[in-house]
Amino acid sequence: MNRGLPLLSALLALLSALLSTAACRSQEQLSNAEIQGQRLYDTHCYECHENPHPDLHKLPTNLHGLFLRKSLPSGDPATDEQVRKTIVEGRGTMPAFDRRLREEDVQDLVKYLRKLK
């Protein structure tokens, strides 16, 4: 019987655990509200903001890194309240979501947009 085999197995298991832990730390975990916001984004925002129809006269804003900018494309400050207002009231060709989303949904969506890089 090879005595080095259990030691090698233990070292491989340890290395695997360390790599797994490092991978988890490098990916930011989403809160429950942010996960819900991601679902809402995928349902209501993705089609236009990630995969816009090529025949659109004006392409929708790319929302990745939205809060890293000082201002929104409208010139308004990039704040939670201003993004919330845009979602609720709409802007230009973007429809208003005041009748489609509850206030809690809008807040979750804003939380997710903060994480969208």
Domain boundaries, the chain: 32-115
CATH: 1.10.3720.10, 2.40.50.140, 1.10.760.10, 3.40.50.10610. Which one for 32-115?
1.10.760.10
Q: How many CA atoms lie within 13 A of 4 on its CB side?
A: 0
pLDDT in single tens digits along all 117 residues of the chain? 556 556 555 545 545 554 543 333 335 799 999 999 999 999 999 999 999 888 888 889 999 999 999 999 999 999 999 999 999 999 988 999 999 999 999 999 999 999 999
- Confidence at residue 3, expressed as pLDDT on a 0 to 100 scale: 62
From the list 88, 64, 58, 83, the residue with the least C-alpha distance to 72 is 83
Q: Which residue has the tokens 């900018």?
A: 69
CA angle 86, 87, 89 (to 5 degrees): 65
- For residue 33 the two structure tokens come to 């509200």
Q: Note the pTM of the prediction, 2 decimals.
A: 0.73
- Confidence at residue 23, expressed as pLDDT on a 0 to 100 scale: 38
Residue pair 62/49 in contact by the 8 Å Cβ criterion:
yes
